[in-house]
Amino acid sequence: MTSACGSTRNVAWSPMQARKLSELAKTKGVRVVVHAQVHLEVCRQRRVKDGASFSPHIIESFLKQLDIEVFDSTLDRAAAERWAALLHQRYPTKKDWKSAKLSAVKARLPDDTSVPVERVPMTTDWLIALAIEDQGAYVAVEDRGEEWSALRATVPKRALSFVEALDWLGGLPDGPS
């Protein structure tokens, strides 16, 4: 297998998109991986939707059918220090970092929402994006937030929309059968 292709945001929530991505990735020898945080959110939302009839076997079966792995993410000291250095390089001042975090959070809030800049947290999407970058992986993500900007700016681009991810996979040679 040549690369890992993670998925988050809309792609992980759409069974049709996940199936299409997974089937194409399989022919190319590319692993499809969903981050543990995204898996947690999908499981929680499925529990809400299904209520008392929820069965973890539905999710388990879906992942197994599509050969999608759940990436176990651990934020250890070494990763924290590497990622802090990367973030500092990109956002060297306190003001730059606050602005980036605010931009990421506001992308998910109504325009008229007021959030004091000093109270804006770092979302888990920052951690997911940094983990993907650290691994040299690609991600299918529709989110246009600041946390994905470094992956969108790389050459080749590593934060891809669903359509771009299909195009990227389609351009790869077929993998081993």
Structural domains in the chain plus CATH codes: 4-75+128-171 (3.40.50)
**pLDDT digits over 71-130, tens only?**
887 889 999 999 999 999 999 999 999 889 888 876 566 667 776 767 777 888 999 999
pLDDT score recorded for residue 38: 87
Q: Looking at per-residue confidence, does 6 or 36 come out higher?
A: 36
Do the beta carbons of residue 37 and residue 124 sit within 8 Å? yes
The predicted model gives 133-150 an average pLDDT of 92
pLDDT score recorded for residue 106: 67
Edge to edge, the sheet with strand 4-7 lists 68-71, 31-35, 4-7, 138-140, 159-160
pTM for the model: 0.82
Share of the chain above pLDDT 90, in %: 60
